Structure 1
């Protein structure tokens, strides 16, 4: 069975379609529909968007012509839509003349007043859909994504519920709701805090900033500093396996970089682009290793991929296996086996810094045995407090840095509620935190902290106390603060070059030649070489064989030296003079040389068509 789709918008102008669909929701991906918001409409020549010149007034549809490269992209997308529906679904969509630019629905987000509204994806996830394959209404909507009005404040914040205060003074302090006022839509909370907590963030930042800044060197610079080849450096800094007499494998490498696994060691190695870099600490370690065991470095440049043997490296010693054990003991004494590799695409604090942070946390925890204070804040709006169940909605786009003081605001998970900690690692989608107190589900984070003290959590599960980003006024009549909408996407390590957007010109590589406005391209000959007709001209026939000779210059300025050598033909002379190297046209007793201008007759026949070269005036 084949289904044929009738286009209800056939014959309508693209401008009319744009006025109807832009800023409206549609359902795309038929027959498996999912919701999205239309942001633009396009045809084969123009893209139509709604722009507002005056804020507060309804925007007008503005057409923008496609770029030169985008014309082909648009046609390819339209043909692909027709092909996919025809070959995979057995659906004839008809010719795609108009497409909708749709941003898919991401979920619901909570507004400052407590309402839940739909949140759509950004420009990077925008998709195109044929207008005849888009559905405007559905009979049954997904109840999970239905927008909801703000609930009554008494239902959302019942008395005794646990919240976090977001005011300017006491930001992030744990609180409890004591009363609510439905008429004014305000509430009262009781704060519980330690007065000395305000200075905690500064102490941890000082520890992180006091780290010794390591200077990194490119691999080719590191080879010159150590005095080894690049191949030897690559082997010794990774895994270098050696076989002993009992066929046991022993790793004599430093293991500070892993290319295939995309791992590095903090404060020792990193990768920028395609090149590895080594710190001063790593170079010093390699120098000490080379000075202690030069035999190991002498064997690194050997040919072949076979695994090295102890007898090949330490052949001049009576017991090569004992020498291998001595090398392993040396590496262990330098702490090489305790180095923890991490991903190239993350940033972590070193183990020494983490130990120092943990000591400060223990001191602060012991000093909090007493002295807790309470305060009551009345008549604040609901946006001035954070409910644990709202953390996933409200704490989006929050930024973090190493050494930031955070508190857990999510009531689900292994970390107890309102426990404080310090960020010691940033990953692509999560962060590593060492907490003030141990808990049952805590880990050591790769032996970087004590048992039950560390964990990896999401960005939206913690509130940043060192960098407050959600400070809200306690005045109910104050306007809602403007939030940062830039997403927090930490990127560390090497990343590929981003390709240009569809329709955009690449930064480098092939580029098409500019338009010539319909004029044919002309290729000019070298003016110093006369054509067969005696004149320099164009290669495509404008001044070819038999064409006019170039006209002499009419400039009144005469050259100082007008004398010309006898063996150089005059300008405009036909090709075919006697060939030679500056000598006369005759060679005694042998007739003409084999020049292109030799005449037919008794003399030897030349290869040219012309006659003698004209005589030159002396």
Structure 2
């Protein structure tokens, strides 16, 4: 009552609602609807100071007194003090904890907690410690993640007029300016050339581990060769030198104006790849993986880089492979990555010869693939149409459609800007509305549901659309521009606002443009299908497998190191396999949304069973059935990507894999290698078709331009003529290229003694056929085996024929069969 506004009254018991909303309430002044905002130099309204009256405790308690007697027994109990409860995990218990609010909170399955009253410890006789305790790690010994200035030598002093930028404004007050000292060795290029390919720590004073991949000075760039030992030196072009100077100047100014750190002149730039995490090799070793991080800088001034730290981040320490008996001791629970029961839970029962014996849970029935079909059918039932096609269909200007589907501002007579748009797309904020709009390479597209909403808007207010169509390119629209009569304009604007409020467009779910999301109707259908799949999966049997390699075992603690390179599509079935998270381990679900950040892929999953930390995915999924998780915490069981194949299954595969899994790749992740470049194509199309691409090959029947074509093994369909004989025509030698007797000759089978174009030999051998000509019955040219002549530069009698001087460009009749 002393904190909440009246619009949040549903949170407090009903008996108090009257005190917050009744105009005759003795404390109604505590809950004003209209109040003043003090911007106090701020730009946004949410940054302002809200000037509302202070709550007077005495008046509040006096007004609440009579209402307290009307509370129910449960509400009175909630309004009192209870005892502190302590929950302790115990592996010896396993029961179903009943829901305290059935229908709102689900039951807790497999509860392994013991509930006890928590008594505060007795502090009598103890002394409070002021400051840090003995042994606290500070300065250069600070633990990873704790910033410290002491990792680089520096000095500091109070400076007037430094103008450090704070909240997009230069500070007018004195500032503490830090100056880095002893930078001579750290600014030398030779120092960092020796560090190529080695680790360092960037982002001073908030250090993060990285690997040096490139070093630059004013004149040269230094990189490691492919053997990762030799250093390649590249001269700077004019543009490279300009880019270097620009980046160096930016870093110097950025440290001074934004961080208040004077770094001095930047003489060397260091390019880095940030530490991405650990990956697990096939042998079980953990090694570091570095990659470019789009959300962080990749170029740093050399004097701001720290070479080594005292305390490394224990989460990212490399280690060699452990014996399988230590890594997977007996009783370990993990997930199976073999083809037999991919993604199923297992338990290690023993070890033999560096491999494990396991018991894996195998479902009796194979899970049907129905989720992709449901999504495909939903997309067919709700297709999207380009905006220009919708504008043509509805008979409105495309610009008007663009305005009315976004935010369309109309200025009222009072000077207020009223949004009369449908808010189906947000170009500036790069958002779309699920089930209504999306943006493709060709522009915005809208669903049938959106088209119906636009059409209903046009039917409800035809005069409004007729008015805005008169000047579609107008930037500012006043209500009097739409209706000449101010009273009519005011009333029509009110009617439109009321109609839009009734459509509840503000409740439409908005997501980023690049996000792949399913609407609520499809997600609800997937949730119902998930329940059926879960019931079918309860019938399972235990299978014993012996001599299983460690590559087929996925320990929950290693999930993020193994599953980071998976890709997903909407409708994929997944299993939560991480050791920690909001989702119970081994829970299965269906991907209903995919969104991407600079460093991670996030999945909206509708799970097969409810759990306490479940959500509704923005009112799209049933209660407690949705949750957004990182892609590295789930195993894609629809598209197997980290499968560990057995020797027998490898033998069954006839098609070789396109890549190989190297010793430095994560388990099952293909390591692609560059294929050798194909030889250059030489010769004509005949050589490319027959495999004889050499130029100038020796042949008894051809000249020096290439080997003879061999069409004896052609797979082209050869159809006989209509009379059973070989196909032909009244002038078969001209049918091949559409030649005529007195016209321009076609291409022959060899090059003659002149440059003119002509048929160089016999092109047909049969008499004219009865009936129409069948152009599909064309045999290979009969003169392909004829020898080719040389090249000339004549017309008329010197053609491209093989030894036939009587055909030329527009010459006489050629030799006929």
TM-score (norm 2): 0.49
What is residue 23 of structure 1 aligned with on the other side? 197
Give me the CA root mean square deviation.
4.5
Alignment of structure 1 residues 80-119 onto 2, 5 Å: 88-89=260-261, 96=267, 98-119=268-289
Whose relative contact order is higher, 1 or 2, with alpha carbons under 8 Å and at least 6 apart? 1
Quote the Cα distance in structure 1 between the aligned partners of 2:535 and 2:306.
63
1:41 aligned counterpart, secondary structure = strand
- Per-residue CA deviation, residues 212-235 of structure 1 (Å, 9 max, x unaligned), is 445544444432321123454245
**Structure 2 vs 1, CA of residues 466 and 236 (structure 1 numbering), >3 Å: closer, same or farther?**
same
1:383 aligned counterpart, secondary structure = helix
- 1:320 Cα deviation after fit: 7.7
Alignment of structure 1 residues 596-611 onto 2, 5 Å: none
- 1:432 Cα deviation after fit: 1.0
What is residue 205 of structure 1 aligned with on the other side? 372
Contact persistence 2:274–2:293 (CA under 8 A) = no
Quote the Cα distance in structure 1 between the aligned partners of 2:603 and 2:532.
24
Quote the Cα distance in structure 1 between the aligned partners of 2:274 and 2:536.
51
What is residue 40 of structure 1 aligned with on the other side? 214
Moved more, 165-174 or 125-134: 125-134
Aligned counterpart for 1:448 among listed residues 617, 620, 625: 620
1:209 aligned counterpart, secondary structure = helix
What is residue 415 of structure 1 aligned with on the other side? 583
Alignment of structure 1 residues 586-601 onto 2, 5 Å: none
Contact persistence 1:48–1:63 (CA under 8 A) = yes
- Per-residue CA deviation, residues 26-56 of structure 1 (Å, 9 max, x unaligned), is 445667655432223333333232224xxxx
What is residue 70 of structure 1 aligned with on the other side? 240
Contact persistence 2:356–2:548 (CA under 8 A) = yes
**Structure 2 vs 1, CA of residues 25 and 300 (structure 1 numbering), >3 Å: closer, same or farther?**
same
What is residue 790 of structure 2 aligned with on the other side? none
**Structure 2 vs 1, CA of residues 168 and 312 (structure 1 numbering), >3 Å: closer, same or farther?**
farther
Contact persistence 1:167–1:473 (CA under 8 A) = yes
- Per-residue CA deviation, residues 326-372 of structure 1 (Å, 9 max, x unaligned), is 9579x76xx97875443333111233322332332233334445x31
Aligned counterpart for 1:386 among listed residues 549, 554, 576: 554
**Structure 2 vs 1, CA of residues 326 and 437 (structure 1 numbering), >3 Å: closer, same or farther?**
same
Contact persistence 2:615–2:626 (CA under 8 A) = yes
Mapped pair 1:358 → 2:536: no
Contact persistence 1:296–1:313 (CA under 8 A) = no
- 1:206 Cα deviation after fit: 1.6
Quote the Cα distance in structure 2 between the aligned partners of 1:313 and 1:400.
57
**Structure 2 vs 1, CA of residues 341 and 50 (structure 1 numbering), >3 Å: closer, same or farther?**
closer
Contact persistence 1:195–1:373 (CA under 8 A) = yes
Contact persistence 1:242–1:251 (CA under 8 A) = yes
Contact persistence 1:388–1:410 (CA under 8 A) = yes
2:370 aligned counterpart, secondary structure = helix
Alignment of structure 1 residues 191-590 onto 2, 5 Å: 191-196=360-365, 198-200=366-368, 202-213=369-380, 216-230=384-398, 232-238=400-406, 254-259=422-427, 262-272=430-440, 275-291=443-459, 293-301=461-469, 305=477, 339-368=508-537, 371-428=539-596, 429-474=601-646, 483-484=669-670
Contact persistence 2:292–2:298 (CA under 8 A) = no
Quote the Cα distance in structure 1 between the aligned partners of 2:334 and 2:253.
54
Contact persistence 2:367–2:533 (CA under 8 A) = no
2:378 aligned counterpart, secondary structure = coil
- 1:205 Cα deviation after fit: 1.5
- Per-residue CA deviation, residues 144-165 of structure 1 (Å, 9 max, x unaligned), is 4432223343333232222110
Contact persistence 1:314–1:323 (CA under 8 A) = no
1:210 aligned counterpart, secondary structure = helix
- 1:485 Cα deviation after fit: 7.4
Any gaps of 5 or more consecutive residues in structure 2? 1-154, 156-178, 651-660, 673-817
**Structure 2 vs 1, CA of residues 67 and 363 (structure 1 numbering), >3 Å: closer, same or farther?**
same
**Structure 2 vs 1, CA of residues 309 and 431 (structure 1 numbering), >3 Å: closer, same or farther?**
farther
Quote the Cα distance in structure 2 between the aligned partners of 1:48 and 1:240.
54
Mapped pair 1:169 → 2:340: yes
**Structure 2 vs 1, CA of residues 132 and 277 (structure 1 numbering), >3 Å: closer, same or farther?**
closer
Report runs of 4+ in structure 1 exceeding 6 Å deviation.
82-87, 239-244, 249-252, 307-317, 319-326, 335-338
Mapped pair 1:150 → 2:289: no
* Equivalent residue pairs, number: 465
**Structure 2 vs 1, CA of residues 31 and 23 (structure 1 numbering), >3 Å: closer, same or farther?**
same
Contact persistence 2:252–2:262 (CA under 8 A) = no
What is residue 565 of structure 1 aligned with on the other side? none
Quote the Cα distance in structure 2 between the aligned partners of 1:82 and 1:320.
59
Contact persistence 1:443–1:453 (CA under 8 A) = yes
Mapped pair 1:186 → 2:186: no
**Structure 2 vs 1, CA of residues 193 and 76 (structure 1 numbering), >3 Å: closer, same or farther?**
same
What is residue 330 of structure 2 aligned with on the other side? 159
Quote the Cα distance in structure 2 between the aligned partners of 1:109 and 1:280.
46
Quote the Cα distance in structure 1 between the aligned partners of 2:205 and 2:450.
59
Contact persistence 1:165–1:386 (CA under 8 A) = yes
2:641 aligned counterpart, secondary structure = coil
Quote the Cα distance in structure 2 between the aligned partners of 1:152 and 1:274.
56
1:21 aligned counterpart, secondary structure = coil
Quote the Cα distance in structure 1 between the aligned partners of 2:391 and 2:498.
25
Contact persistence 1:220–1:230 (CA under 8 A) = yes
